Structure 1
Amino acid sequence: MKKLLILGAGTAGTMMLNKLDKRIDKEEWDITIIDKDNTHYYQPGFLFIPFGIYQPSDVVKTRKEFFPKGTNFIMDEVEEINAADKEVILKSGKELSYDLLVIATGTKPVPSETEGLDGPLWYKDIFDFYTFEGATLLAKKLRDWKGGKLVINLAETIIKCPVAPLEFAFLADAYFTEKGIRDKVDIQYVTPLSGAFTKPIATKMLSQLMEEKNIHVVPDFYIEHVDNENKKIVSYDGLEVDFDLLVSIPTNMGSEMVENSNMSDEDDLNFIPTNKHTLQHKEHENIFVIGDATNLPTSKAGSVAHFEGEILIENILDFMNNKPLSANFDGHANCFIETGFGKAALIDFNYTTEPLPGQFPIPILGPMGLLKETRINHMGKLAFKWVYWHMLLTGKSLPVSTNMSMSGKKAPKKEENKEKEEPQQEEVLL
């Protein structure tokens, strides 16, 4: 019997396990999924924990409850992939052979990449919200915080859920307003980008929101180190920003297994060189990559993993049947952007088309507005938690087209004849 290994049982890995379980010939293929523990987090919910919108218990379940019956699940960490011999080596020393490999090992924040970030003030006056621990400890901090300078800082631009730092800023504005201390809180958004955003049409709308909410943007700030003693972040060119409370989005990196396997891309952040249309590894035809583990020039987000999954299942089946890979991923992503006070915006885009205004998912009718603050967008954001647990993880198709549709979108005339350029990964924010 042939062996298919899935590395990683997060969003992308669990989703692919369920899709494959429904579609492959189980008399010919045996599936094993590997991850270090049995805890599954609804990571989009981390954003809401610091503000009391979600409780920690709202975002935690076990991995196994989303696996098909009889799944072979190995709880261990992957140490290395030996692609030449088609073997995966686990930290326990166990070696597993494979005929086909799906890598879904994701990405994680690595605060140690910035000098001083995880120093004496870490989880005292410096927090992240991209981890369960960070989000829950930040919630406790915000409950008692009396105000001061709140600095939200991105260490890098390649991060999972790229709009989340902006959402944090908007939700912080609403949170402190509702507590009656907004006038005592100076919110600064410090970014290595030339502004809060990179895409012109989205920038115009969302930058206006930042101004209306009195959130000051400090652009072109490449953090070099954190001065814990004087409570400052310092850029490579010597610019300093003081803080009373620092909310950091640390450097995001792929699994250490990628480096151990000599598979890292040229950015050296442990993301895997992946064909951006077929999701096949660029050097090994029997390896496919999905989700945050890839180096694709699109968002590292749950919606992207979902759209990739619809493509990947078809290409894996083609590979199994010795056929040319027939499905192509266009970089489709859509993201809700919480803007506070029970409203949210929505963006929908792909490799070549930036976020545009319009209606989604049904032209004219919507009911959701693109690049528009609405309450129904906010309800859609909250409803996604149910969709995530009951549809996305279980491998069901969602009522949204896999490849991006221009239906309902309003493209500026000057864009219609403009030659489309593909963004480089380091330019991708949305």
Structure 2
Amino acid sequence: MKKLVILGAGTAGTMILNKLYPVLDRNEWQITIVDQFETHYYQPGFLFIPFGIYSKKDVIKPKRDFFPTGVNVCMGEIDKIEPGSNRVLMKDGKVLGYDYLIVATGSKINPGETEGMLGDLWYKKIFDFYTIEGAVALANFFKHWEGGKLVVNITEMPIKCPVAPLEFVFLADWYFTERGIRDKVEIHFVTPLPGAFTKPKASSILGDFLDKKNIKLTTDFSIGRVDNENQKIISWDEREVPFDCLVTIPTNMGDEAIARSGMGDELNFIPTDKHTLVAEGYDNIFVIGDATNLPSSKAGSVAHFEADILFENFIDVIEGRKPRARFDGHANCFIESGFGKGILIDFNYDTEPLPGKFPLPGVGPFSLLEETKMNHYGKVMFRWMYWNFLIKGKELPIESHMSMAGKRL
């Protein structure tokens, strides 16, 4: 009997499990999915928790609710992968042999990578919103905050959902306006990138978006340390930004098991063929989602499109063919802009976000690179789509490859 092991039961791992399980003969295949946590998080929902739009219960469900009946579930922490021996070693001593391995171990924040980040102000005046704990702590802080300097800082790239920090400042503008204290809150977006919108076409259309919302922008800021005593972040070139509340997007890193396995780069992401999703140097290992080092966004939509490609290539490989399907880096993201409106972007490795209509040319109903109420509804509806379709591996009416239909050059 052949053995397929999937490491990680988050978005990417669960999706590919649900796509492959129905088509692999149970008499020929043993499929095992591995994870150390029982709870599945709808991570795009973390963004809404600090502003009271969602609560913790809105973004969590048991992982086992989304596993097909009969799959072998191994709950525990991975020690390391031994690709030369085709086996996975677990911290509890279990050994999982495999014929094929799919790595979907994701990424997580590592605030300890920045000097002073985990100092006296952590979860008092310094917060993240990329974890459920950070988002809930920030929600409790905002309830009673009377204003001051709100700094949102990206530590370094890559990060999960690259547009989420921008969404955060837009929602903060809306939230404090609704509370009647927007004039008492100075919102400051601090990024290591050369602009808030780095793609030329998006920047030309949306470049003045922050100015219109009275959000201060500091670019090319590479944070070196956090001064807890004087409440300021300091860059490697000694520029300083003071804060009364710091919302950080810390360094994102792959799973530590990848480092112990000797398979990752300096951030523990696995070098992966950007088109076939095969791990570089290993013919029987695929990588999907945030665990890869691909030059695409680390976002749920990307994992969805990757899953379609990985499915086809996995079938090719087990039937003795070379993987033929090609992932083009397709990403599709709704950007919540506050006040019941949103923006939509659609792009891939080679094509930057362009204006137009999506998904139907000339019809939409969503508008690309425009701020509309319909785009906001798309963002809101996505949670239902996620729980009922996406995570279950069901087909959605969006092609895995980016289409130019409906886009204006």
TM range (shorter): over 0.9
Question: Quick one: which amino acid aligns to residue 74 of structure 1?
Answer: C
Given the alignment of the two structures, is residue 37 of structure 1 paired with residue 37 of structure 2, yes or no?
A: yes
Aligned residue identity for 2:61: K
d(CA) in 2 for partners of 1:194, 1:297: 17
One-letter amino acid of the counterpart of residue 181, structure 1: I
What secondary structure sits across from 1:376 in the alignment? helix
Q: Contact conserved, 1:24 with 1:317, CA < 8 A, in 2?
A: no
How far apart are residue 70 of structure 1 and its match? 1.6
1:249-288 residue pairs with structure 2 within 5 A?
249-265=249-265, 268-288=266-286
User: Residues 54-65 of structure 1 correspond to what in structure 2 (within 5 A)?
Assistant: 54-65=54-65
Question: One-letter code of the match for 1:236?
Answer: W
Amino acid paired to 1:338: E
Matches within 5 A, 1:162-173: 162-173=162-173
Counterpart of 1:392? 390
Runs (4 or more) in structure 1 with deviation over 4 Å come to none
In 2, Cα distance between equivalents of 1:168 and 1:206 = 16
Partner of residue 47, structure 2? 47
Distance 2:264 2:303 in 1: 20
Equivalent position of 2:140 in the other structure = 140
* Conserved? CA contact 1:304–1:334, under 8 Å: yes
Give the superposition deviation at 1:157.
1.9
| Cα distance, 1:43 vs structure 2 | 0.2
Q: What's the RMSD between the two structures over aligned residues?
A: 0.6
Q: Mind listing any 5+ residue stretches in structure 2 that lack a counterpart?
A: none
Shift of 1:105: 0.3
- The aligned runs of 1:371-410 (5 Å cut-off) are 371-410=369-408
Q: What is the identity, as a one-letter code, of the residue corresponding to 2:50?
A: P
Query: Displacement of 1:280 after TM fit?
Result: 0.3
Cα drift, residue 386 of structure 1:
0.6
Q: Secondary structure at the match of 1:241?
A: strand
User: Structure 2: which amino acid aligns with 1:287?
Assistant: I
Report if aligned partners of 1:126, 1:245 keep a CA contact under 8 Å in 2: yes
SS in 2 for 1:281: coil
Cα distance in 2 for partners of 1:402, 1:233 equals 40
Equivalent position SS for 2:153: strand
SS of the residue 2:371 aligns to: coil
Kindly state the Cα deviation for residue 95 of structure 1 after the two structures are TM-superposed: 1.1
Equivalent pair of 1:264/1:273 in contact (CA under 8 Å): yes
1:7-406 equivalence runs, <5 A: 7-265=7-265, 268-406=266-404
Distance across 2 between alignment mates of 1:190 and 1:285: 41
Q: Distance in 1 between matches of 2:95 and 2:142?
A: 46
CA distances 1:311-349 after superposition (whole Å, capped 9, x unpaired): 000111111111121111000000000000000000000
Amino acid at match of 2:323: L
Aligned equivalents of 2:27 and 2:407: distance in 1?
A: 46
For residue 83 of structure 2, what is the amino acid of its counterpart? A
Cα distance in 1 for residues equivalent to 2:346 and 2:248: 26
Q: Which deviates more, 133-142 or 195-204?
A: 195-204
Residues 36-88 of structure 1: CA deviation (Å, up to 9, x unaligned): 02100000000000001111100000000000012211110111000000010
User: Once the 2 structures are TM-superposed, how far is the Cα of residue 197 of structure 1 from its aligned partner?
Assistant: 2.1
CA distance in 2, matches of 1:405, 1:181: 43
Is the contact between residue 43 and residue 59 of structure 1 (CA under 8 Å) also seen in structure 2?
yes
Maintained 8 Å contact 1:116/1:226: yes
Please state how far the C-alpha of 1:228 moved relative to its aligned partner.
0.3
Supply the AA of the counterpart residue of 2:377. Answer: M
Gaps of 5+ in 1: 412-430
Partner SS for 2:313: helix
How many Å separate the matches in 2 of 1:140 and 1:261?
39
Deviation at 1:279, TM superposition (A): 0.3
What is the deviation of 1:205?
A: 2.7
Alpha carbons 1:221, 1:235 under 8 Å: kept = yes
Taking the aligned partners of 2:373 and 2:55, their CA distance within structure 1 comes to: 22
Matched residue type, 2:11 = T
Aligned mates of 2:43, 2:205 — CA distance in 1 = 26
Tell me how far apart the structure 1 counterparts of residues 44 and 293 of structure 2 sit (CA, whole Å): 21
- Offset at 1:206? 2.7
Q: Look up the SS of the partner of 1:61 in the other structure.
A: strand
Residue 384 of structure 1: SS of its match in structure 2?
helix
* Distance in 2 (alpha carbons) for counterparts of 1:368 and 1:13: 29
2:99 and 2:283 mapped to 1: Cα distance?
11
Contact 1:291/1:301, CA 8 A, preserved across alignment: yes
Distance in 2 (CA, whole Å) between partners of 1:206 and 1:117 is 31
SS of the residue 2:207 aligns to: helix
